[in-house]
Homo-oligomer: A and B are copies of this chain.
């Protein structure tokens, strides 16, 4: 390295600009965002977790998730059903009984949720110990 000529050269050696990064980046970002779209929002995770403990009815889910409104629960359940994560079953009885359960596909989220929980638990400890 002789004398410093331009800034960019100097910097580039420190943070080389690899065009490959951009491709790898976008290749990772899209699926991660897909996954996050499914899980994000205020209520989807609570609902998924509640149903991971077993089949439940509308009112029962509502009871287990503090502060959720009927509207939100209804809307989120519909979206989860559309994504094939949750199954809505209408039992042919009188009166009609409706319940919700996780589909096998929904259960495939288990590992993801578990990693989130593990990291979140660590993070929580870290935050609380600092303040």
**Residues of chain A whose beta carbon lies under 8 Å from any beta carbon of chain B:** 7, 11, 14-18, 21-22, 24-26, 28-36, 38-40, 45-46, 49-50, 53-57, 60, 63-66, 95, 97, 99, 105, 108-109, 111-113, 115-124, 126-127
28 CB < 8 A contacts A-B? A7-B95, A7-B97, A15-B56, A21-B53, A21-B54, A22-B63, A22-B64, A24-B53, A25-B46, A25-B50, A25-B53, A26-B66, A28-B49, A28-B113, A29-B46, A29-B49, A31-B118, A32-B45, A32-B116, A32-B117, A33-B120, A34-B123, A34-B127, A35-B116, A36-B40, A38-B123, A111-B115, A115-B115
